[in-house]
Amino acid sequence: MRFFEYEAREIVKRAGIPVTDYGFTTDATEAKEIAQRIGGPTVIKSQVLTGGRMKAGGVKFADTPEEAQAHAKDILALEINGHMPRGVLVDPKAQVEQEYYAGVVWDGTAKKPLMLFSDMGGIDIEQVAEEHPDHVGRGHFSTLEPFSDFQAKQVIAAAGVTGRALQRATPVLARLARLFLENDMTLAEINPLAELKDGSFVALDAHMEMENEGMPRQKALLGALGIGAQEGTREGHTPTAFEEAVKAIDAADHRGVIQGKDTGFTGNIGLVIGAGGGSLTLTDAVRQQGGKPANYSEIGGNPSVAKACGLAKQVLRLEGVEKIAVMMSIVSNTRVDIVARGVIKACLELGKDPGETIAIFRIPGAWEEEGFKILDSYGIEYCDRSVSLWEAAGRAVAKIEKAAA
Amino acid sequence: MRNDGLFIAVEIDDTITADAELAKKLTEACPVDIFAVADTGGVELVEGNIDECVLCGLCLAAAPAGAVKIIKIYDEEALLTR
């Protein structure tokens, strides 16, 4: 789940990291009042969940409250990349000595949070990492063991920061790391983190993303920020036709659960996968063995034949997909025979031979003997729990590569 | 009366298809709505639901012995037994 900047700043503030005396409003007149309270030059920033604000004219500087009001009026009416602003943030124009970058991101490969710090703030960290790698400090930390401020200090020092700045930036990065853990974040970023003329550090902008599955645990925080359940995850992309179709199939039948995503996938292996983390494990297993998935999916909770069929048909209709791999970790509440019927039916309804189209069927679990009889009758290669997820994924990749060659 | 899905076939003895009481019992018993009460009051099979059969046998228990047959087409037409 994504947060607007004004919400992210509030999260940062609650974690004990200094922020400027900003104000959020949806009204230009109120923007003037905030600027009057601040009493000096201000920055008026559009609150949208998209990048490119500055280029689009969504960030403007004002020397007087009247100018702040005029800018707020313009920005509130300005659409940026198809997004209308939630409001504007009125921020004091800080006297900055130097800009830094402080961030914590979930590293899916290492399966640990990664702290990042740079003395080159205000620009994309990816650009800094590419052009000036010696200016970026990095360090993983555990989600289980207690966090020590010293770990943050090492990361900052690795970016070449020393002396007073090192001492003062350390608690900021340490609090950001703790905030990341305590609030189920996948990204917590302060950019720029400003060192002011007096040597103090203050967050001038913040970017936060929360794990969707963590949202139920974070009701208190979301409630305090005024974020209701109706806002969902604020996903940044428009669902594709595949994603919409899978969602509609799922909604039409209460039995079982299916999900599907094809955003970012361009491969030729259709995946009908699921069960207890099985989808992620299987997607990784396919990719690590050279396979190119056409989609990601989740199926479980004992779906009906119609629902399994619906998902498989949508996957088979994806461009470039000739075969599908139907795989799950061990299931106790999903009927193997019912899923087998569903995926076979999908093939037949699309005029495809199930024996040729289903590269592998590996769902060990309830009613598997009945499932195996069905699979046998259509000449489909299947395996039981004695074949690992890794091995099953490898067999699917090999078969699809052989067919494509 | 027999109706075939891809995997499952359901057969009802012709002598009981007009039985309104049985139609009601089968409709209530089946968890996946394979049976319905016809406009005439007798038993009707819902074609689109036949392959959803979960082989629970509740229809066999609700009907007189041998009156309803659940046939596994994929298993050499094996009959589901109570």
3-class SS of residue B69: strand
Q: State the best of B74, B79, B80 to mutate against chain A, taking most chain A CBs within 10 Å.
A: B74
Cβ distance A149 to A166 under 8 Å? no
Query: What is the 8-class DSSP label of residue B80?
Result: P
All CATH 3.40.50.261 domain ranges in chain A, comma separated: 241-404
**B12-51 tens-digit pLDDT:** 999 999 999 999 999 999 999 999 999 999 999 999 999 9
A41 has a pLDDT exceeding 90: yes
A402 has a pLDDT exceeding 90: no
CATH hierarchy code of domain A21-92: 3.30.1490.20
Average pLDDT value for residue range A136-151: 96
**A275-317 tens-digit pLDDT:** 877 898 999 999 999 999 999 999 999 999 999 999 999 999 9
Which domains does chain B possess?
2-79 (3.30.70.20)
Average pLDDT value for residue range A377-401: 94
**A247-281 tens-digit pLDDT:** 999 999 999 999 999 988 989 999 999 887 789 89
Fold of the domain built from segment(s) A96-231: D-amino Acid Aminotransferase; Chain A, domain 1 (3.30.470)
All CATH 3.30.1490.20 domain ranges in chain A, comma separated: 21-92
- A379, closest residue in chain B (CA to CA): B74
ipTM of the shown complex: 0.95
A21 has a pLDDT exceeding 90: yes
pTM of the model: 0.65
Nearest CB to B52 within list A306, A370, A374: A306
**DSSP secondary structure string for all residues of A186-206:** EEEEEEEEEEETTS-EEES-E
A236 has a pLDDT exceeding 70: no
Helix (H) or strand (E) holding A106: strand A96-107
pLDDT given for residue A263 in this prediction: 85
Helix (H) or strand (E) holding B53: none
Residue identified by tokens 């109570």 is: B82
All CATH 3.30.470.20 domain ranges in chain A, comma separated: 96-231
Q: How far is Cα A316 from Cα A297, in angstroms, rounded to an integer?
A: 12
Instruction: List the one residue out of A334, A382, A258, A340 whose CA is nearest residue B51.
Output: A340
The share of chain A scoring above pLDDT 70, in percent, equals: 100
In the stretch 9-28 of chain B, residues with CB closer than 8 A to chain A read none
The chain-wide mean pLDDT, for chain A, equals: 94
Average pLDDT value for residue range B63-70: 94
A341: which chain B residues are within 8 Å (Cβ-Cβ)?
Answer: 6-7, 51
Residues 6+ apart with CB under 8 A from A211: A1, A106, A184, A185, A186
| CATH number among 3.40.50.10190, 3.40.50.261, 3.40.50.970, 3.90.550.10, domain A241-404 | 3.40.50.261
Angle, CA of A118, A205 and A2, to the nearest 5°: 105
- A345, closest residue in chain B (CA to CA): B6
B75: which chain A residues are within 8 Å (Cβ-Cβ)?
Answer: 373, 377
Q: How far is Cα A96 from Cα A20, in angstroms, rounded to an integer?
A: 12
